[in-house]
């Protein structure tokens, strides 16, 4: 099936304002202590970059890469670790940065993985949350940008078949209408 952009769900302006607020919330939570952001590739790369530039003080970034969706629109339910952390997060204040939490299977897998390293604190920051889609019941999302309905969306790092990550806004996508 062919898909096309139907409209803007969250504009660039709305996203940027909320990202600044999230950065301040994170800063206030750790009050002067150093923070390690762990961005979950690929989807969170744009959000993580914008978030980090608004956090002042001691902040590091590391990347982990997993994939569950492949080129499908629905999660396969299997999470593959493609690239592990470079740094040691033991005794660090870790904030996992995600673009979207859908079924929650990606973060369910990752949280177990991070806990093994015994960080001092382990929190989750996600730009988007689709609570209707959740398939796990043990995920606490500490910092959430926006709760959104169960719509197919792309942009600001989020892809459909690896496309549309470059959009500076978040758009809803729908099957292309048949032309007569
Ligand atoms: C997407 C998204 C989240 C995850 C959310 O990543 O970026 O990481 O799915 O879905 P879940 O809550 O159902 O696990 P994807 O696997 O498509 O990889 P990508 O980030 O490289 O696009
Ligand atoms: Mn992802
Ligand atoms: Mg994807």
In this structure, the residue with its CA closest to atom 20 of ligand 1 is: 43
Is residue 143 one of the residues assigned to a domain? yes
Q: Specify if 34 maps to a domain.
A: yes
Do residues 81 and 112 lie in contact, with contact meaning Cβ atoms separated by under 8 Å? no
- In this structure, is residue 63 part of a structural domain? yes
* pLDDT at res. 2: 84
CATH of the domain at 39: 3.40.50.2020
Check if the beta carbon of residue 63 is closer than 8 Å to that of residue 46. Answer: no
Query: Is 177 domain-assigned?
Result: no
Domain count, the chain: 1
Q: Name 51's Cβ contacts closer than 8 Å, sequence gap at least 6.
A: 19, 22, 23, 26, 37, 97, 125
Q: How many CB atoms lie within 10 A of CB 114?
A: 18
- The whole-angstrom separation of Cα 102 and Cα 88 is 28
Residue 2 belongs to a domain? no
- Tell me, yes or no, whether 163 lies in a domain: no
What confidence score (pLDDT) does residue 71 get? Answer: 57
Which residue among 79, 100, 108 is best mutated to probe the pocket of ligand 1, counting the most ligand atoms within 8 A of its Cβ? 100
Total-model pTM: 0.94
Bridge partners, residue 31, by sequence: none
> Which of 102, 59, 58 has its CA nearest to residue 49?
59
| Residues spanned by the domain of 49 | 18-68+77-148
Q: CB of 42 closer than 6 A to ligand 1?
A: yes
In a structure prediction context, what are the per-residue pLDDT tens digits for the chain, which is 180 residues long?
Answer: 788 999 999 999 999 999 999 999 999 999 999 999 999 999 999 999 999 999 999 999 999 999 875 556 566 668 999 999 999 999 999 999 999 999 999 999 999 999 999 999 999 999 999 999 999 999 999 999 999 999 999 999 999 999 999 999 999 999 888 766
Residues 169/10, Cβ–Cβ less than 8 Å: yes
Q: What is the pLDDT of residue 72?
A: 60
> What local confidence, expressed as pLDDT, does residue 150 receive?
96
**ipTM tops 0.90:** yes
Classify residue 176: in a domain, yes or no: no
10: in domain: no
Per-chain residues with Cβ under 5 A from ion ligand 2: 43
Write out the E strands in 11-116.
Answer: 35-41, 59-67, 80-83, 93-101
């Amino acid at each position: 099936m062919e898909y096309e952009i139907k409209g803007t769900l969250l504009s660039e302006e709305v996203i940027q304002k909320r990202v600044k607020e999230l950065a301040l919330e994170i800063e206030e939570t750790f009050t002067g202590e150093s923070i390690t952001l762990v961005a979950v590739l690929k989807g969170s790369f744009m959000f993580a970059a914008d978030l980090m530039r608004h956090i002042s003080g001691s902040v590091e970034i590391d990347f982990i890469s997993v994939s569950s969706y492949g080129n499908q629109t629905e999660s396969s339910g299997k999470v593959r670790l493609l690239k592990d952390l470079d740094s040691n997060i033991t005794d660090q204040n870790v904030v996992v940065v995600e673009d979207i939490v859908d079924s929650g299977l990606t973060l369910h897998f990752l949280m177990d993985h991070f806990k093994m390293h015994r960080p001092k604190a382990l929190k989750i920051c996600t730009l988007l949350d689709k609570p209707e889609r959740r398939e796990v019941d043990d995920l606490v999302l500490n910092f959430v940008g926006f709760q959104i309905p169960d719509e197919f969306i792309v942009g600001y790092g989020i892809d459909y078949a690896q496309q549309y990550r470059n959009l500076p806004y978040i758009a809803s996508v729908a099957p292309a209408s048949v032309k007569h």
